[in-house]
């Protein structure tokens, strides 16, 4: 009897014992293994869908997404057992990563989980297949319409393309509303207030501090954006007259050369300094030198290898999608993929031979080289220090695509002298400075949707209020709540957080400034290219190899010696342009009426 009791006592207590750090470690090892397998399945299925959208690939992608999200939510619940333990810092970091691994987490009920995965796939594929059909037999894809925005100077044609693209998104509105509800259910189930709270929890500071950091950086940038805006507005009024005039000083979005007014680089010809003759036009040079899509990507790769990075694997060239296929629907928005942990890297892009895509290729390759650099990290540390770092990497390289570099690779014959500085800086500002307010508002809009501050009946109104306030732009024609204009920007239906691009725009100048210092560059910052500099490459590569294993200020410090998001680097880069713009804007109104 006594032995039986003893045996029972010995058998029972093990599950009641408090978990130890060792248990937490064992749990995490298992979680990483399970999610790595499911993540790989989901990556293959998503690739299959993005490069061939049809009923079957949608089904596969939705199913794999559901399996990953449901398992991640289940593991995050199990993880609560270890919450009270004092865990070593890197293990604690993995527990947080587990909670953040899905940007729209699965709600507890399997029926809701499936609905969420289905709605996500529906939104993404609707965007990918989206076409503007002025007549049923004449449909235009986004790339066709972007060509119009980029090249046409006829306000009617511009407006038609601009509003035509926005005919794809009204059906998304009820789906997006449901998506936000389901995603909030999942976020709350993990202990977050809502999905906005979850999205802002991955920056080694509180969500409130994160929002304040973005606002702080934006305020640093604002005078420069306003100066650029005032100058561009005046030149557009000169060109388009009444079509560009607005009593409040807002610029009509369809005249900016970009579908969302997120970059003004395509209207450089309209706003270039009046007397100057631009030294070269990169688009024209690429075409004249007979660059094709492959050569554009090879040239990008060569920049990275010049810094000491290994060549891309042979499978990159076999499996990437570089052009729009004729025979099937695809998601053309550029992206970079790490399908099998650093081994199977790919990009997916519908490349056009122009300067904009030349930069985007460097951007995408930056993702791939980053992915390979951290492949030896454990599953939850295979990421960048924060998501802004991933977006910044390739752009940091593209900033080194200077005239000096273009001459080295034979794309131009002569390097413009210092008299070309303002042209060059203006060109870059149309890309980088014009982007800043847009980089901020996409998630400001979504955070307000997720918190409930913006009600579904005000989705469109809230969007345009932000565009007006931050970008100083206005819609091409009157918009109502029958429209759903946020849905006409990829990252909304594809559920990709956007604050990362705002961060990236600032970080890339911090990286660039630091690498130029290592390179020993003297003279104006914007003339620096570290092409071929292995020391600069190592400095960047060492940070990339850290993955997300350390808080981001540590990673930033490793590459730059700095620990803060700091707009002084971008301001320093553009300082000569700011002085020039202020001169041009003398006696003119700067700014616009926001309310
Ligand atoms: O989406 C992208 C990349 C893929 S990560 C092409 N970008 C943002 C956009 O296109 O809106 C790069 C810059 C901003
Ligand atoms: Zn990117």
Tell me the CATH number at 414.
1.10.1370.40
Pairwise CA distance, residues 316 & 484, whole Å: 37
The residue contributing the CA closest to ligand 1 atom 7 is 501
Q: Is residue 447 part of a domain?
A: no
The DSSP bridge pattern shows strands 473-474 and 251-252 to be parallel
| The domain boundary residue, chosen from 156, 181, 206 | 181
**Residue at 32 is within a domain:** yes
Of 10 and 44, the one with more pLDDT: 44
Answer with the one of 140, 155, 181 that is the final residue of a domain.
Answer: 181
Nearest by Cα to 167 from 147, 137, 143, 140: 140
**DSSP label of 321:** B
Let me know if 491 is a catalytic residue. yes
Residue 103 included in any domain: yes
Residue 71, in any domain of the structure: yes
3-state secondary structure of 133: strand
Among candidate residues 146, 364, 391, 431, the one labeled active-site is 364
The pLDDT tens digits of the residues spanning 86-105 come to 999 999 999 999 999 999 99
Task: Locate 470 and state its tokens.
Answer: 């931050």
Catalytic residue among 375, 404, 491, 557: 491
State the distance from the centre of ligand 1 to the C-alpha of 146, rounded, in angstroms.
Answer: 15
Nearest of 486, 504, 389 to residue 447 by alpha carbon:
486
Q: 364, 394 in Cβ contact below 8 A? A: yes
**Whole-number Å distance between alpha carbons of 274 and 422:** 12
Mind listing the pLDDT tens digit for each residue in 315-338?
Answer: 999 999 999 999 999 999 999 999
What's the pLDDT tens digit per position in 54-85?
999 999 999 999 999 999 999 999 999 998 99
Residue with tokens 């901020």: 440
- 335 ligand 1 Cβ < 6 A: yes
* Domain count across the chain: 2
Selection from 420, 443, 575, 438 nearest residue 509 by Cα: 575
Find the DSSP H helices in 272-313: 282-288, 293-306
Using the atom order of ligand 1, give the atom closest to the CA of residue 360. Answer: 6
N- to C-terminal Cα separation, the chain: 84
User: In the beta sheet, which residues pair with residue 252?
Assistant: 474
Task: State the Cα–Cα distance between residues 269 and 238, nearest whole angstrom.
Answer: 13
Q: Give the span between the Cα atoms of 560 and 514, in whole angstroms.
A: 5
Please indicate whether residue 337, judged by its CB atom, sits closer than 6 Å to ligand 1. no
pLDDT at residue 16 is higher than 90: no
Beta-carbon neighbours within 5 Å of ion ligand 2: 391
Q: What is the pLDDT of residue 1?
A: 46
Residue 300 has pLDDT above 90, yes or no: yes
Asked if 402 contacts 421 with a C-beta cutoff of 8 angstroms, the reply is no
486-508 mean pLDDT = 98
Task: Based on the residue annotation, tell me whether 364 is a catalytic residue of this protein.
Answer: yes
**Tens digits of per-residue pLDDT, 246-256?**
999 999 999 99
Residue 47 domain flag: yes
Ligand 2 center to residue 359 CA distance, Å? 11
- Which DSSP letter does residue 587 get? T
Task: Flag whether pLDDT at 182 surpasses 90.
Answer: yes
In a domain, 478, yes or no: no
Ligand 1, atom nearest to 367 Cα: 5
Mean pLDDT, all residues of the chain = 96
- Average pLDDT, stretch 511-520? 98
Considering only CA atoms, which of 81, 437, 485, 458 is closest in space to residue 226? 437
Q: How high is the pLDDT of residue 15?
A: 55
- CB contact at 8 A, 447 and 207: no
The pLDDT value given to residue 17: 84
| Mean pLDDT across 125-152 | 97
Tell me if the pTM is above 0.85: yes
pLDDT in tens, 415-463: 999 999 999 999 999 999 999 999 999 999 999 999 999 999 999 999 9
Stretch 521-544: mean pLDDT? 97
pLDDT number for residue 556? 98
Give the mean pLDDT of 326-352. 97
Q: What is the DSSP string of 555-573?
A: HHHHHHS--S--THHHHHH
Q: From the CB of 360, is ligand 1 less than 6 Å away?
A: yes
Structural domain harbouring 69 = 21-127+175-181
Last residue of a domain, one of 148, 181, 214: 181
Name the token pair of 256: 């900016």
Q: Is the CB of residue 501 below 6 angstroms from any atom belonging to ligand 1?
A: yes
Rg (CA), the chain: 25
Residue 2 included in any domain = no
Report CA-CA distances (Å) from 142 to 258, 294, 489: 11, 22, 11
High-pLDDT (> 70) share of the chain, %: 97
Whether residue 146 lies inside any domain: the answer is: no
């Amino acid at each position: 009897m006594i032995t039986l009791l003893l045996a029972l006592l010995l058998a029972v207590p093990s599950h009641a014992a408090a978990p130890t750090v060792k248990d937490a470690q064992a749990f995490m090892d298992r979680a990483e293994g399970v999610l790595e397998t499911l993540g790989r399945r989901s990556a293959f299925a998503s690739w299959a869908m993005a490069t061939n959208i049809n009923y079957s690939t949608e089904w596969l992608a939705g199913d794999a997404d559901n399996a990953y999200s449901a398992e991640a939510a289940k593991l995050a619940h199990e993880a609560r057992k270890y919450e009270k333990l004092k865990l070593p810092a890197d293990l604690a970091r993995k527990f947080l990563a587990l909670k953040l691994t899905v940007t729209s987490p699965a709600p507890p009920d399997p029926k809701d989980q499936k609905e969420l995965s289905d709605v996500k796939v529906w939104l993404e594929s609707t965007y990918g297949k989206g076409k503007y059909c002025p007549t049923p037999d004449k449909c235009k894809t986004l790339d066709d319409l972007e060509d119009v925005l980029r090249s046409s100077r006829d306000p009617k044609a511009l407006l038609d393309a601009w509003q035509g693209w926005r005919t794809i998104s009204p059906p998304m509105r009820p789906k997006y509303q449901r998506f936000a509800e389901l995603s909030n259910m999942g976020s709350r189930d993990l202990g977050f207030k809502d999905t906005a709270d979850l999205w802002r929890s991955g920056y080694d500071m509180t969500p409130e501090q994160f929002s304040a950091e973005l606002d702080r950086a934006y305020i640093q940038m604002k005078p420069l954006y306003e100066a650029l805006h005032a100058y561009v507005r005046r030149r557009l009024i000169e060109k388009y007259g009444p079509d560009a005039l607005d009593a409040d000083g807002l610029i009509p979005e369809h005249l900016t050369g970009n579908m969302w007014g997120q970059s003004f680089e395509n209207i450089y010809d309209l706003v270039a300094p009046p007397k100057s003759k631009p030294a070269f036009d990169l688009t024209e040079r690429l075409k004249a030198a007979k660059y094709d899509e492959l050569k554009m990507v090879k040239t990008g790769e060569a920049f990275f290898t010049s810094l000491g990075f290994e060549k891309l694997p042979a499978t990159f060239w076999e499996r990437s999608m570089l052009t729009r296929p004729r025979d099937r629907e695809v998601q053309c928005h550029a992206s970079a993929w790490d399908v099998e942990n650093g081994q199977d890297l790919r990009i997916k892009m519908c490349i056009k031979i122009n300067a904009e895509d030349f930069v985007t290729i460097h951007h995408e390759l930056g993702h791939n080289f980053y992915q390979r650099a951290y492949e030896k990290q454990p599953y939850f540390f295979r990421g960048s220090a924060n998501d802004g770092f991933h977006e910044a990497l390739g752009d940091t390289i593209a900033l080194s695509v200077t005239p000096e570099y273009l001459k080295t690779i034979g794309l131009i014959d002569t390097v413009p002298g210092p008299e070309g500085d303002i042209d060059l800086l203006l060109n870059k500002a149309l890309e980088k400075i014009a982007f800043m307010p847009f980089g901020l508002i996409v998630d400001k809009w979504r955070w307000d949707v997720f918190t409930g501050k913006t009600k579904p009946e005000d989705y469109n109104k809230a969007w345009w209020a932000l565009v007006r306030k931050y970008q100083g732009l206005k819609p091409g024609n009157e918009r109502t709540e029958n429209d759903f204009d946020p849905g006409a920007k990829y990252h909304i239906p594809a559920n990709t957080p956007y604050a990362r691009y705002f961060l990236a725009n600032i970080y890339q100048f911090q990286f660039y400034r630091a690498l130029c210092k290592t390179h020993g560059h003297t003279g104006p910052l914007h003339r620096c290219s570290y092409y071929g500099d292995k020391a600069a490459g190592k400095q960047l590569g060492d940070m990339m190899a850290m993955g997300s294993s350390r808080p981001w200020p540590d990673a930033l410090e490793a590459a730059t010696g700095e620990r803060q998001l700091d707009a002084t680097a971008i301001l320093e880069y553009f300082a000569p342009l700011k002085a020039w713009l202020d001169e041009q804007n003398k006696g003119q109104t700067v700014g616009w009426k926001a309310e």
